[in-house]
A and B are shown apart, each in its own frame.
Chain A
Amino acid sequence: MTEALFPLQRPLIAGDKTAADVTRDVCRPLEGRPTPLWWAGFLAAAALLGLGVVCVGYEVATGIGTWGLNKTVGWAFDITNFVFWVGIGHAGTLISAVLFLLRQRWRTSVNRAAEAMTLFAVMCAALFPLIHMGRPWFAYWVFPYPNTRGSLWVNFRSPLLWDVFAISTYFLISLVFWYVGLIPDLATLRDRSSGRRQRLAGLFALGWNGALSTWNRYELVYLLLAGLATPLVLSVHSIVSFDFSTSVIPGWHTTIFPPYFVAGAIFSGLGMVLTLMLIARKTMRLEDYITPRHVDVLCKLVLATSLMVGLAYTTEIATALYSGNPYEGFAFLNRAAGPMGWTYWIMVGCNVAAPQLLWSARVRRRLGIVFAISLLVNVGMWFERFVIIVTSLHRDFLPSSWASYSPTPIEIGTLLGSFGLFFTLFLLFCRFLPAIAMGEVKGVLSHGKGDHA
C-alpha cells in the first residue's frame, strides 16, 4: 500500500500531535491577534499594491505609451508578468491534484496554502492581459456574446482567445477545488468559534457536519476534481505557450514550447511554494507541520524540474542551429550573445546553475540556503519569460526594424504592484482561513506511528 512507502515510514507531522492539537495549532493564528511580523508584511504588501494601482491607473488613463514598448517590441513586461504569474499558479494545482493522485500524503501540510497561492497568482496573471490592451474598457469583446454587430463573434483561431478560455477555466476550477477542500475546516472553525466569525464560517461551511455519507461523496468529488485539474494544468500552460509557438517570430515559433513551458511553470511554482512555506513556517510557528522533510521533498522536485528546463534550453539552441534556418539560428545566438545577452545568462544562472546545489542533502537541510535558491528560481523564471518575449521580438526578420527595449518606471511599478496584490491576498488568507488543511492533516497523523496497521 502506497502510504507505507518512503517518505512515510517516519511520521509526517512532528511533535506527536493529536487531532485536537492540530485543530488548536492551525486555528491559533486565526483566533489570536495578528503578530507584528504579520502587520509589517501586510503593510509592505499593501504599499506595493498601492503603487501598482497608481501605475495601472495612470497607464489606462494616459496610454500604453507610458510603457517602454515600441513599434518592434509590442510586448515586454506585461506579458512577461502574465506568463510568470500563470507559471507560479501551477504549483498549487500540481501539489494538490497531481500529488494527491500519486498518493503523496506529505502534501497535506502544504496543499491548502499552495492552492491559495494558485488562486492569487492566477488573479495577478489575469490582470495583465487586461491592462496590456490599448483599450481595456473594451476587454469584454474577447468573449463571444451575441451582439448587435452582426453578431460579430471572436476569432477562435487566436491563441490569445484560447488563453481567455484556459485562464478563466483554470481560475474557476482552482477556486472550486480550493473551496471544496475548505468546507470541512470551515465547519471546524464554525464549531469552535462564536459570534460573527461563527456566522460567517457557518455560512460558507454550508452546514457541513462530517456525516460519513457526505465524506464518502466528498472523497470522490475531490478525486474527480484532482483528475480534472491535472490535465487542465498541463493544458493551460501549453496554451499559454501557444501564444508564442504558433507565431512566425524566430525564437517563438518552436514546437518544444508546450512541455518546456509546463516544466518551467511547475519549476517556478515550486520555487514560490518553497519561498512561501519557509516564510509561513517561521512567521506562523508551523514548524511541526512543515517539517524539514517537506522542504527536502520540495527541493528534490525543484532540482528535477530545473534539470528539465535546462534540457529545454539546450534543446532549443541545438534545434535552432541544426535547423539551418538562418533567422532561427540568429534569434538564439542573439539571445545569448546579443545586446540583451545578460538577461539570458541571469536566466541560465538562476534556473539551471543555482538549483544544482540541491543535489547535496546538506544544502537541502540548510533552510537559509534553500530559501535563497527558491528566490533565485523566482527571479530566473521571470527572466526566462522576458528573454523569450523580448529578445525574440527586438531583432526579428528585417534589420531595418531592429529595436531595443527598456522599461519605464510605470512598468516596473506595475510589476511591483502585482507582487503587492499577491502578498496582500496571501497574508489576508493566512490571517482569516486555516492555512493548513486540518481535515487532511488529521488523516495522516497516524502515519508512521505504531498504532496504524
Chain B
Amino acid sequence: MSRRLLYASFVGEAEVLAAVAALRAGGHSIDEIYAPYALHGLDRAAGLRRSRLGWVCAAAGFLGAGGMAWFQSWTSATSWPLNVGGKPFFSWPAFVPVTFEGGVLAAGLATVAAFLLRSRLYPGRAPSPLPAGATDDRFVVAVVARDATFDAQALARLCLEHGAVETVERVERGEP
C-alpha cells in the first residue's frame, strides 16, 4: 500500500517547536522530524523516549573487562606460567590496566555498532528524499495520513501559520 505524507520545512527553532506542539495537539500523527542539528526540547515536544543503548554499553564494558581479566590470568598462570622477576604467576595487580582498557574498548565499539544497527545506518544506504536544506538549516516535519480524512491543504495551512517556509505533499509507494 502507499502512504501520503506532508513535509513542512521550518527554519526557526521556536517555529518548529510550536508547530510540532500544535500538530500533536491537533491529533495529527507525525511520522518523523528531520533536523539539521540536535535541537534540545524537540525530542520532548515530539514525545520520544530515551534510548536504551546505555545497557548495551554497560554489558559490553563488563564483558570486555571480564574477558581481558580472565585471559591475562589464564595465559600467565595456567597456559604457560613463567617466573618473571620472581613475581607470582597470578600477579593480579599487574593485570588491572589491560583489564580496564579491554572494558573501555569493548564498550565503545559495541555502543556505536548497536547505534548504527538500530538506526539502520550503513554505507550505501539511500537517504530518504527530503525537501532541500534538511541537512543544512531546515527542520522538516513529516505528517503521515492516517485515514481518508487527511486534508493536506488544511494541514499545510496550519504549518504555514506556524511559520513553515515550505510545505510539500508526497505519496510514498511500495513500502508497507
With A156-B72, A157-B91, A235-B100 given, is the CB distance from A224 to B34 under 8 Å? no
Contact, CB under 8 Å: A214 / B97: no
Expressed in whole angstroms, the Cα–Cα distance for A439 and B57 within the complex equals 24
Q: Check: A152 CB closer than 8 A to any chain B CB.
A: yes
Interface pick from B127-135, B143-151, B152-160, B167-175: B127-135
Q: Mark A159-189, 1 if CB is under 8 A from B, else 0.
A: 0011001101100110011001001100110
From A173, A188, A212, A443, give the contact of B135 (CB < 8 A): A188
Contact, CB under 8 Å: B34 / A210: yes
Closest Cβ of chain B to A338, distance in Å, is 30
Q: Which residues of A contact B67 (CB under 8 A)?
A: none
Contact, CB under 8 Å: B48 / A216: yes
Contact, CB under 8 Å: B53 / A224: yes
Expressed in whole angstroms, the Cα–Cα distance for A18 and B138 within the complex equals 11
Contact, CB under 8 Å: A221 / B111: yes
Q: Which residues of B contact A217 (CB under 8 A)?
A: 51, 53, 115, 118-119
Q: Check: B18 CB closer than 8 A to any chain A CB.
A: no
Q: Please, which residue of chain B has its CB at the minimum distance from the CB of A225? A: B108
Contact, CB under 8 Å: A151 / B95: no
With A172-B108, A191-B134, A443-B38 given, is the CB distance from A206 to B13 under 8 Å? no
Contact, CB under 8 Å: B54 / A220: yes
List residues 188-246 of chain A with CB under 8 A from any CB of chain B: 188, 190-192, 202-221, 224-225, 228-229, 231-232, 235, 239, 242
**Nearest 9 interchain pairs by C-beta:** A207-B125, A19-B137, A153-B75, A206-B121, A212-B33, A442-B37, A157-B94, A20-B137, A162-B97
Taking A165-B97, A206-B116, A213-B32 as known contacts, 6 extra A-B pairs with beta carbons closer than 8 A to each other, sorted by chain A number, are A157-B91, A162-B98, A165-B102, A169-B102, A190-B135, A218-B38
Q: List residues of B whose CB falls within 8 A of some A CB.
A: 11-14, 32-40, 42-43, 46, 48, 50-51, 53-54, 57, 61, 71-72, 75-76, 79-80, 84-85, 87, 91, 94-95, 97-98, 100-102, 104-105, 107-109, 111-112, 115-116, 118-128, 130, 132-137
